[in-house]
Amino acid sequence: MAPIEEETTGDFPLSKRLELHALWVRTSGREGVRLDLSRQSIRSLDAPGAVMTGAKLNDSDLRQAEMRDDDLVGSDLGGTDLRGAELQGANLTAANLKGIKLRGAKLDKANLQNAELAFADLRDATLAEVNLTEANLLGAELQGVDLRKATLRAADLSGADLKDANLAGTDFSYASILGAKFNGATVDGETNFQYAKINADELRNVDLTPVRKENLPTAGLEK
């Protein structure tokens, strides 16, 4: 069977392109074609559970996409517009999400471990129970975000804006939070700042009284 040229797949329906990409993933690139939707506009994309490992989705318009439980490991979504998208349970491990627009998106229980989210717009998104271990959230916009029971262990949140965020049960242990804004954020007894790298005045406008003593950022607190 003659190989399919990548430039011809743009004429195929999306379902066929996803099928060819899944084959590309299964055969480590020997067969099939890598999915490339970069700089395309496909609003209200309906592809729950799709295999998009290593796909090129950068700078595309995917607003209101239905991508729950998608496999997006190592994919390039830099600059992509996913406002209002459904990404619950999606696997975005080590994905490039730099500058992505995710305002109002739903990412509950998604896996974003080691993801690149520098300067991402996540305002008003829901990230309950999300895994952001060692993720890069430098300068990210997280105002009003629901981060209940999220894991941000060893993540970089330097300069991030978490004003009015819900941080009940959120794990910031060993994270770098230097220069982050927490005005109006809510915490509870399970919120964990243990060993976080943070300046003393970073949490000045947060009521820390509900936080358990052992979870306060005493060890490793920058003076």
Alpha helices in the chain (DSSP H): 14-26
Strand partners for 66: 46, 86
Tell whether the model's pLDDT for residue 9 goes beyond 90: no
Task: Look up the pTM and report it.
Answer: 0.90
Centroid of chain to Cα 33? 26
* Cα 31 to Cα 81: distance, rounded to the nearest angstrom: 30
* Cα 151 to Cα 139: distance, rounded to the nearest angstrom: 18
Count of CB atoms situated within 10 Å of the CB of 83: 20
Interval 9-23 mean pLDDT: 88
Tell whether the model's pLDDT for residue 168 goes beyond 70: yes
* Cα 76 to Cα 41: distance, rounded to the nearest angstrom: 16
Tell whether the model's pLDDT for residue 8 goes beyond 60: no
